[in-house]
Amino acid sequence: MGVKIRTFRPSDAKTVRKVLIDGLFSNIDPAFFVGVRRPSVIVSVLVLTALMYYWTLSLLYTIAFFVALLCLYYLTLLVAAHLLTMGPLFDDIENVQGNYMKPRRNFWVAEADDGQVVGTIAITLMNLDKPANECADDVAWLRRMAVSEKYRRQGIAKRLVETAIEFCKRNKYRRIELITTEVQLPAKALYERMGFRCVNTWARREYGFVLWTFTLIYDIQQDTIYY
């Protein structure tokens, strides 16, 4: 099965959005397991379950209530993911051409044999929202990495990252920066294997959820051999 990496074309817009949204939804299961291990969630669920038993004195109702709480938690994550797809998180891919197809920026896709887009990655400038004089133009921001579930563990993300690193070298960036989270541990493993290192771990709040987030950087000059 041959997959080629090429630059984005306007006709890819719809499938790019689909690959990225599927990527977001594939993180719901890891987010659920991260969430249910949080002490605050464990304590809340146990207290509510104990109250249910105290109130009904029925083991059956208590177990059903416990399962319902877990289902509710999963449903909340699904709703949060839907809200994220409708909010500003995906604004940049509404206009890939305008946002990425500019000097020193790029958006690539992985295209399968049948022409289907199965992976994405982008490079842009870090801190685009800051005034031009405050924006470090030697730091590249790696974003929008995703591979369709059916095509994972075939080295596609590795090839996408290699393409982005080569592009950053050619464009005289000093450093590549990205953020990833505790529910994207496969991505973190991939980046670290390719020579990125974690320089900061911080708590991000998203719709009331706390998400441990990692800032990773790749120093262009290091010429790391990662395999």
Q: Where in 185-214 is the site for ligand COA (CB under 6 A)?
A: 186-187, 189-190, 193
* Residues near ligand COA (CB under 6 A), total: 20
Smallest distance, ligand COA to C-beta of residue 116, A: 15
Smallest distance, ligand COA to C-beta of residue 215, A: 11
Q: Where in 22-61 is the site for ligand COA (CB under 6 A)?
A: 23, 26-27
Q: From CA 115, how far away is CA 161, in angstroms rounded?
A: 20
CB-based contact 58:99 (threshold 8 Å)? no
Residue from 127, 154, 213, 215 binding ligand COA (CB under 6 A):
154
CB-based contact 180:214 (threshold 8 Å)? yes
* C-beta closer to ligand COA: residue 26 or 49: 26
Q: Are strands 139-147 and 175-181 parallel, antiparallel or unpaired?
A: parallel
Establish if 184 lies at the interface with ligand COA (CB under 6 A). yes
**Helices within the chain (DSSP H only):** 13-25, 28-36, 39-56, 59-86, 91-94, 96-100, 156-170, 185-193
* C-beta closer to ligand COA: residue 52 or 96: 96
CA atoms within 13 A on the CB side of 153: 3
Residue from 145, 164, 168, 220 binding ligand COA (CB under 6 A):
145
* C-beta closer to ligand COA: residue 152 or 175: 152
Establish if 215 lies at the interface with ligand COA (CB under 6 A). no
CB-based contact 103:140 (threshold 8 Å)? no
Binding residues (CB under 6 A) for ligand COA: these are 23, 26-27, 145-147, 152-158, 180, 184, 186-187, 189-190, 193
